[in-house]
Structure 1
Amino acid sequence: MTVTDSAADLPTPTGPMRTYFYAPHDPHRTQPRPGLVLYSEIFQQTPPVRRLAVTFASLGYLVAVPEVYHAHEPPGCVLGYDDDGKTRGNTLKQIIPMSDFDDDARVVVDALRGHSGCTGRVGAVGICLGGHLAFRAALLPEVRATACFYPTDLHSGTLGKGGGADSLARAKEIRGELLMVFGRQDPHVPTAGRRAIYDALDAAGVWFTWHEFNAAHAFLRDEGERYDPATARLGIGLAADLFGRSL
């Protein structure tokens, strides 16, 4: 199966949001596919994120990758995996109100559900910052399944302007199934933080599975010294199983 790609500027309350779509192309099948929102790291759609999107599309999903910093960076902006890129990405994630992130989630989910190539069944997946944003998308009742890979700022409630994210406090609103995946050697989500997330999900009665691997932060990114190919394959397999069952 090959994968086709396109882009659209979706209207949001804070301006156009460049969103990249990846669709499986099989000349023997023309039926619509389930949709997935893929949320990136703080660097937006880097080559590793694009390859991850293509991977999920090749599994049979219409994948949408929104630019999370569209209100502050020009369309097509990709921050570097360097100190400047990290500083800019970490700064932006703190100055954007959580309500803006939530508005963007509503827009991209609605865009997928209304897409001619989508069945209307939608899930979400994200890495790092995107893991937290996928968790926020899971608060939408239309999102049937969500995979969160090492979501940052979830345990501390520090995402967004003012650092007042209430994500865990709203966990009881999640109606779909949740997959949580962490690296045990991840300093951004330490042991105490992971326990806080687990306890909050358990107390809220969320339907979830929990997986921890001996891996570092960003083990799914197929560039750099922290990439763990074996663990990445396992993680993608877990997400594929979730979406196959739920979407």
Structure 2
Amino acid sequence: MSTPTNTQNADSNALVITTPDGDFSAFVALPKADSAPVIVVIQEIFGINADMRETCRQLAALGYIAVCPDLYWRQEPGVSLTDQTQDEWNKAMTFYTAFDVDAGVSDIAATISAALKLPGASGKVGAVGYCLGGLLAYLTATRTDADAAVAYYGVGIDQHLDEAANINQSLLMHIAEEDEFVPPETRQRILTALQGNHQVDIHLYPGCNHAFARNAGAHYDAVAARLANARTAEFFDKHLK
């Protein structure tokens, strides 16, 4: 893939990324600092919704340029759903089922290249992903040159454990012990495959369901979310600043 170009729209919270496959947009939240590391925020199955935008703003408040790419652009640009209704779940699952994981990782790599060209980008870049994004954050650690990655309750990681040997930068993983999308036996396979890798740090959250850190989500757990987010903040502070 050739190096993408990027431009900022009149809306300072929008970034357009140009690749050989086409253009797609990303939501951007900017810090007050003149120079800052970049964090690519990787969406759940619901698109760039209020949760993802709030996550970007929280990271910007911590001193990062937070960039959330629209990874559903190949299907339908601008998807923004919640977990509050069955209709939205059904639509989100339709997008998820049709999603091309390899193309998604390619788009994340393009986002990294483009975001590092933004004014004020310090040259360091991390990634954080949730649910589908948790899988993509893991694959970002195995397939890109990101300096650090964080995966929240990733779904499907067990199908890519053969790539674990490619993790050359630090990866932090938050795993819910009651995740309805990751059965105990699947979780154990992940732990067994990764526990010997000194680049990987894994935290388990007893009693927590999938998406325990989703802002205003149905399974939000304030105590677990604060703990996971504090660990994430410390992790990025160590590896990106």
TM normalised by structure 1 equals 0.86
- The answer on whether the counterparts of 1:12 and 1:103 sit within 8 Å (CA) in structure 2 is no
Match of 2:130 among 114, 117, 127: 127
Per the TM alignment, residue 78 of structure 1 is displaced from its structure 2 partner at its CA by 0.8
**SS of 1:125's equivalent?**
strand
Give the match for residue 221 of structure 1.
Answer: 214
Per the TM alignment, residue 170 of structure 1 is displaced from its structure 2 partner at its CA by 0.9
Per the TM alignment, residue 239 of structure 1 is displaced from its structure 2 partner at its CA by 0.5
Give the match for residue 103 of structure 2.
Answer: 100
2:67 partner letter: A
Question: Could you say if the C-alpha distance between residues 5 and 152 of structure 1 is closer, same or farther in structure 2, counting changes exceeding 3 Å?
Answer: farther
Amino-acid identity (%): 30
Give the match for residue 149 of structure 1.
Answer: 152
Q: For this pair of structures, how many residues does the alignment match?
A: 228
Per the TM alignment, residue 148 of structure 1 is displaced from its structure 2 partner at its CA by 0.4
Provide the alpha-carbon RMSD of the alignment.
1.8
Give the match for residue 80 of structure 2.
Answer: 78
Match of 2:139 among 136, 139, 156: 136
Q: Distance in 2 between matches of 1:206 and 1:70?
A: 35
Q: Distance in 2 between matches of 1:97 and 1:49?
A: 20
Residue 63 (structure 1) aligned with residue 66 (structure 2): yes
**SS of 1:143's equivalent?**
coil
Residue 17 (structure 1) aligned with residue 24 (structure 2): yes
Match of 2:204 among 209, 212, 221: 212
1:100 partner letter: A
- The answer on whether the counterparts of 1:141 and 1:175 sit within 8 Å (CA) in structure 2 is no
Per the TM alignment, residue 87 of structure 1 is displaced from its structure 2 partner at its CA by 2.1
**SS of 1:24's equivalent?**
coil
Per the TM alignment, residue 237 of structure 1 is displaced from its structure 2 partner at its CA by 0.5
Per-residue deviation, residues 21-78 of structure 1 (Å, max 9, x unmatched): 11111xxx42x1011010111001211221111111111111100111011113x321
- The answer on whether the counterparts of 2:211 and 2:217 sit within 8 Å (CA) in structure 1 is no
Give the match for residue 3 of structure 2.
Answer: none
Question: Could you say if the C-alpha distance between residues 123 and 206 of structure 1 is closer, same or farther in structure 2, counting changes exceeding 3 Å?
Answer: same
- The answer on whether the counterparts of 2:101 and 2:136 sit within 8 Å (CA) in structure 1 is no
1:209 partner letter: D
- The answer on whether the counterparts of 1:171 and 1:206 sit within 8 Å (CA) in structure 2 is no
Q: Distance in 2 between matches of 1:198 and 1:97?
A: 25
**SS of 1:238's equivalent?**
helix
Question: Could you say if the C-alpha distance between residues 206 and 44 of structure 1 is closer, same or farther in structure 2, counting changes exceeding 3 Å?
Answer: farther
Q: Distance in 1 between matches of 2:49 and 2:179?
A: 21
**SS of 1:171's equivalent?**
helix
Which runs of structure 1 show a deviation greater than 6 angstroms over 4 or more consecutive aligned residues?
none
1:22 partner letter: A
**Unmatched segments (≥5 aa) in structure 2:** 1-10
TM normalised by structure 2 equals 0.88
Per the TM alignment, residue 13 of structure 1 is displaced from its structure 2 partner at its CA by 4.0
Per the TM alignment, residue 175 of structure 1 is displaced from its structure 2 partner at its CA by 1.1
Per the TM alignment, residue 220 of structure 1 is displaced from its structure 2 partner at its CA by 0.7
**Unmatched segments (≥5 aa) in structure 1:** 158-166
- The answer on whether the counterparts of 2:27 and 2:53 sit within 8 Å (CA) in structure 1 is no
Per the TM alignment, residue 92 of structure 1 is displaced from its structure 2 partner at its CA by 2.2
Per the TM alignment, residue 93 of structure 1 is displaced from its structure 2 partner at its CA by 2.4
| More displaced stretch, 231-240 vs 182-191 | 182-191
